[in-house]
Amino acid sequence: MTTVSHSVISAAQLLAHWQGHRNLTRKLIEAYPEDQIFNYSIGDMRPFAELIMEIMDLSGGGVEGIVTGKWKVLDELSHVNGNYPKTKTEMLERWDAVTDQINNFWPQISLERYQENVMAFGAYEGSVYSTLLYVIDNEIHHRAQAYVYLRSLGITPPPFWDRY
Amino acid sequence: MTTVSHSVISAAQLLAHWQGHRNLTRKLIEAYPEDQIFNYSIGDMRPFAELIMEIMDLSGGGVEGIVTGKWKVLDELSHVNGNYPKTKTEMLERWDAVTDQINNFWPQISLERYQENVMAFGAYEGSVYSTLLYVIDNEIHHRAQAYVYLRSLGITPPPFWDRY
């Protein structure tokens, strides 16, 4: 007897979905003028560089934390302590390292774990699936703010569906 | 024998996740000054009202289309043809109607269907799960742009985690 198990989305599909979004975020970084990425903002918000650091901290540290149970505390995160690359090239290198970090740790999250609770970064309690969705959604949220920054600088960002 | 079936996220959990996001988007609409919601923008982008209409068109029409197989074509959508509420009150009423539309149709999407393909709005082919994620992600994306609009107007938006 064969049991067919249906699901909304598989773990591999969620990873592909996220890495698609991450491809787009990387294109936004590339589209940014070097000086503006570190300095430009609107309405006293943070420049895109700080938002990217937050995205990378939560993404790489989030997946690694879920797998290993070892979490950096907030003060150890680059977007909190300000210890991060100051060129676009180094930022893109770090981005690609986080891509590998996610790809390497992701298959170690067993299907059973998605419904279990974790205390992310020693501070945020929630299920594994909701923690991962928070990280992905937070990336979409902050990247969209960079869309407005870019538009206000007269630069056309890559389209939202361009995830390749 | 009991078979325990594990999943990344259940259909009910995905609905709750989305309605949480929709609660936050509704708060953004409420936080907006009446005149600015229809007129204010940055960098030649669309005002928030048009983005909200796109969100509502895709959300309600998306879920109903997936269930019924009946899709409005693009010209019939309010954010395309411009036929939409011109007050914040009417916009919030329509928002709440879409909330009910989603809640009513969602349980009619069987678990088997998430991996099947649809041609959304007669134009966009993809799996049911990726179509739904596109709609949810698109809401997060455009709402985040309204965060920048609000900040630039000196208004503090509700926090990103406020989904209740």
Range of the domain at A22: 16-152
Any CB–CB contact under 8 A between A82 and chain B?
no
Residue A5 binned pLDDT confidence (cut-offs 50, 70, 90)? confident
Residue A3 binned pLDDT confidence (cut-offs 50, 70, 90)? low
Tell me the chain A residues in contact with residue B43 when contact means C-beta distances shorter than 8 Å.
148, 150-154
Contact of A83 with A50, CB cutoff 8 Å: no
Can you tell me the mean pLDDT for A8-31?
Answer: 98
Q: Is B16 exposed, middle or buried (0-12, 13-18, 19+ CB in 10 A)?
A: middle
In a domain, B163, yes or no: no
Tell me the chain A residues in contact with residue B42 when contact means C-beta distances shorter than 8 Å.
42, 148, 151-152
Can you tell me the mean pLDDT for B27-38?
Answer: 95
**pLDDT tens digit sequence for B80-115:** 998 889 899 999 999 999 999 999 999 999 999 999
In a domain, A162, yes or no: no
- Of all residues in chain A, the one with the smallest CA distance to B13 is A130
- Of all residues in chain A, the one with the smallest CA distance to B115 is A8
In a domain, A80, yes or no: yes
Query: How far is residue B138's CA from residue B141's CA, in Å, rounded to a whole number?
Result: 5
Token pair belonging to A22: 């991450």
In a domain, B92, yes or no: yes
What average pLDDT does the structure give for chain B?
95
**Rounded to two decimals, what is the model's pTM?**
0.96
Closest Cβ–Cβ partner in B9, B21, B142 for A129: B9
Q: Is B107 exposed, middle or buried (0-12, 13-18, 19+ CB in 10 A)?
A: exposed
How many Cβ atoms sit within 10 Å of the Cβ of residue A9? 21
Q: Which residue has the higher pLDDT, A2 or A42?
A: A42
Give the three-state DSSP class for A126.
strand
Number of domains in chain A: 1
Query: Is the CA virtual torsion A80, A83, A86, A91 positive or negative?
Result: negative
What average pLDDT does the structure give for chain A?
95
In a domain, A21, yes or no: yes
Distant-in-sequence, close-in-space partners of A42: CB < 8 Å, separation ≥ 6: A148, A149, A152, B42, B148, B151, B152
Token pair belonging to B62: 């998306």
Can you tell me the mean pLDDT for B121-136?
Answer: 97
Is B5 a residue whose pLDDT tops 80? no
Any CB–CB contact under 8 A between A151 and chain B?
yes
In a domain, B108, yes or no: yes
Contact of A92 with A53, CB cutoff 8 Å: no
Q: What is the CATH number of the domain that holds A109?
A: 1.20.120.450
In a domain, A146, yes or no: yes
**pLDDT tens digit sequence for A57-109:** 999 999 999 999 999 988 899 999 988 898 999 999 999 999 999 999 999 99
* Residue carrying structure tokens 């938002």: A51
Tell me the chain A residues in contact with residue B153 when contact means C-beta distances shorter than 8 Å.
43
Can you tell me the mean pLDDT for B6-21?
Answer: 97
Residue A120 binned pLDDT confidence (cut-offs 50, 70, 90)? very high
Is A1 a residue whose pLDDT tops 80? no
Is B3 a residue whose pLDDT tops 80? no
**pLDDT tens digit sequence for B141-164:** 999 999 999 999 999 999 999 999
Query: How many percent of chain A have pLDDT more than 90?
Result: 91
* Alpha carbons within 13 A on the beta-carbon side of A74: 5
In a domain, B16, yes or no: yes
**pLDDT tens digit sequence for A144-161:** 999 999 999 999 999 999
Dihedral pair phi/psi, residue A120, rounded to 5°: -65, 130
Can you tell me the mean pLDDT for A118-126?
Answer: 95
